């Protein structure tokens, strides 16, 4: 029997990083913490390798690299190589047994959620950070479409940037440990990020929440100015900045599209107060658990009631700049003065 290569999120955690990639391991870890993540499963690196072997793609790629090795350091050649390799992978269909297993897992997921032909997101999940290897397909419906997208995510391990990166780091060009996350698409009312530290000032007393209507892509990509909520951890007091939000990302028939935000919603806060405080509460809990400021992505499902409507799709340590606290010196000076009175 072949190796197990599909895992449900509750079977994995952060120690599965090498097997299922960071994103999946993270979704598993969040599940363990009791956070609500969209239901779904992970395809491990073993699945990728089994596919590459059984479909013959690995051999073809190897011989391609072998023939073109000398020219590989040229940028133009890397672009060409990327195109060629992706073509090779995408032209292969999933071996029969693997296809059956994937279909079975998808059916189980549809059954769990209670929606036939459930729309899912198919996301790459690299075991190591690799730029340009973040291929994601949203709103994927049906078994055959799912199979296609999974092979496309695998193929995305061979973007020109990824090839260049592997060359630079002296990594094996033909190998690309990549996992795939398959998870239910959340019918997003709004989505965004939460940071448990103010990234610009390094102020650890604040939580910053940003969000827009629709899917989170518009916030993460930085294309629009989202609503911003700066919440004080100790007091819960909140500074709200509502930005006019005219664009949002929605599902298209297939994949996603950019849509106009209805006029009456453009200047409305995308989060209700109780949703905001629940997001902040969970984010600070996670921060306390890891004892590190967190950078997390949330989605509000419009089909579910509060608080079940809050889904988490990402939690990782936040990057922020520590700034020298000038006000400390000023406060020390003020304090010394009270002894003069």
Partner 1 sequence: MKVYDVVPGLEFDAERDLAQSPAWFLDATHSVPPWTPMFGWFWINFCRHGMQYGAEKLSLPTVHGWDWRFMNGGGYLTLLLVKSEEEKQRREVEFRKAILPLIKDYDGIWNGFVKEVLGRYKKLKELDVDTASNIELLDNFEETINTCRRMWEIHMYMMYGTYTAYILFENMCRELVGIDDTSPSFHRIVSGFDNKVFQVDRRLWEFSKIASDMGLEDVFLKNEEVDIREKLEESDSGHNFLKQFREFLNEDGWRMQRMSEINLPTWVEDPTPALSMVKQFIQKGGAFNLDEERKKISVERIETEKEILAKVPSEQRAWFEPLMRLAQKSGIFSEEHDHYLDLYTHAMMRRSALGMGRRFVKAGAIDDHEDIFFLIPDEVRRAGINPGQFDLRYIVDRRRSEWLEWQKTPNPPAILAEGFDLDQAMGVLVKSNDPIALKVVVGSMPQVRPELKADLYGTCGSPGVAEGTARVIVTEDELHLIKEGDILVAVSTSPSWTPVFSMISGVVVDRGASLSHAAIVGREYGIPVVMNVFEGTAKIQSGQRIRVDANLGAVYILDK
Q: Kindly state the smallest distance separating residue 131's Cβ from partner 1, in Å.
A: 36
Greatest C-alpha distance within the chain: 86
Residue 253 vs 291, nearer CB to partner 1? 291
**Kind of pairing, strands 206-213 and 6-8?**
unpaired
Contact 316, 294 (CB under 8 A): yes
Residue 75 vs 338, nearer CB to partner 1? 338
Residue 172 vs 327, nearer CB to partner 1? 327
Token representation of residue 132: 């340009």
Q: Kindly state the smallest distance separating residue 324's Cβ from partner 1, in Å.
A: 10
- Spatial CB neighbours of 254, under 8 Å, sequence gap ≥ 6: 139, 141, 145
Residue 108 vs 277, nearer CB to partner 1? 277
SS3 string, 70-109, reads HHCCCHHHHHHHHHHHHHHHHHCCCCHHHHHHHHHHHHHH
Q: Kindly state the smallest distance separating residue 327's Cβ from partner 1, in Å.
A: 4
Residue 70 vs 234, nearer CB to partner 1? 234
Backbone angles phi, psi at 215, to 5 degrees: -75, 160
Q: Which long-range contacts (CB under 8 A, 24 or more apart) does 319-323 make?
A: 319/199, 319/295, 320/195, 320/197, 320/198, 320/199, 320/200, 320/202, 320/293, 321/199, 321/200, 321/201, 321/202, 322/202, 323/201, 323/202
Taking phi over 0 as left and psi of -120 to 50 as alpha, with beta for the rest, 298 belongs to beta
Residue 204 vs 304, nearer CB to partner 1? 204
**Kind of pairing, strands 294-301 and 256-260?**
unpaired
Task: Work out the angle at residue 88's Cα, subtended by the Cα atoms of residues 175 and 171, and round it to the nearest 5 degrees.
Answer: 15
List the one residue out of 162, 166, 78, 70 whose CA is nearest residue 124. 162
CB atoms within 10 A of CB 314: 18
Q: Which residues bind partner 1 (CB under 8 A)?
A: 205, 234-237, 325, 327-336, 338-341
Q: Kindly state the smallest distance separating residue 107's Cβ from partner 1, in Å.
A: 44
Q: Kindly state the smallest distance separating residue 280's Cβ from partner 1, in Å.
A: 13
Q: Kindly state the smallest distance separating residue 341's Cβ from partner 1, in Å.
A: 6
Q: Kindly state the smallest distance separating residue 338's Cβ from partner 1, in Å.
A: 5
Rounded distance between C-alpha atoms, residue 289 and residue 286, angstroms: 5
Q: Kindly state the smallest distance separating residue 335's Cβ from partner 1, in Å.
A: 5
Q: Kindly state the smallest distance separating residue 3's Cβ from partner 1, in Å.
A: 46
Q: Which helix (H) or strand (E) holds 213?
A: strand 206-213
Residue 67 vs 326, nearer CB to partner 1? 326
244 DSSP 8-state letter: P
Residue 73 vs 325, nearer CB to partner 1? 325
Residue 306 vs 330, nearer CB to partner 1? 330
Residue 217 burial (10 A CB sphere; 0-12, 13-18, 19+): middle
């Amino acid at each position: 029997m072949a190796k197990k290569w599909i895992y449900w999120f509750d079977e994995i955690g952060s120690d599965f990083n090498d097997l299922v990639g960071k994103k999946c391991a993270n979704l598993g870890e969040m599940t363990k913490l009791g956070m609500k993540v969209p239901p779904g499963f992970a395809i491990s690196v073993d699945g990728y390798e089994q596919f590459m072997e059984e479909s013959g793609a690995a051999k073809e790629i190897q011989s391609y690299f072998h023939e073109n090795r000398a020219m590989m350091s040229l940028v133009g050649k890397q672009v060409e190589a990327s195109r060629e390799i992706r073509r090779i992978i995408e032209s292969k269909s999933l071996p029969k047994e693997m296809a059956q297993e994937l279909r079975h897992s998808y059916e189980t997921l549809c059954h769990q959620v209670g929606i036939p032909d459930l729309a899912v997101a198919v996301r790459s999940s690299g075991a190591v950070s690799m730029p340009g290897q973040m291929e994601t397909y949203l709103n994927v419906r049906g078994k055959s479409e799912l199979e296609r997208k999974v092979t496309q995510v695998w193929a995305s391990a061979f973007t020109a940037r990824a090839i260049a990166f592997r060359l630079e780091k002296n990594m094996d060009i033909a190998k690309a440990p990549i996992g795939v996350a398959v998870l239910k698409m959340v019918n997003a009312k709004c989505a965004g990020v939460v940071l448990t530290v103010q990234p610009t000032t390094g102020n650890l007393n604040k939580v910053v929440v940003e969000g827009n209507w629709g899917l989170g892509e518009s916030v993460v990509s930085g294309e629009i100015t989202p609503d911003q909520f700066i919440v004080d951890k100790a007091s819960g007091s909140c500074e709200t900045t509502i930005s006019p939000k005219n664009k949002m990302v929605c599902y298209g028939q297939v994949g996603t599209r950019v849509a106009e935000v209805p006029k009456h919603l453009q200047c409305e806060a995308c989060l209700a107060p109780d949703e905001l405080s629940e997001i902040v509460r969970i984010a600070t809990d996670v921060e306390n658990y890891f004892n590190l400021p967190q950078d997390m992505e949330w989605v509000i499902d419009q089909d579910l009631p509060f608080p079940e409507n809050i889904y988490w799709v990402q939690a990782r340590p936040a990057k922020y700049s520590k700034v020298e606290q000038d006000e400390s010196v000023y406060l020390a000076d003020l304090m010394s003065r009270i002894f003069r009175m």
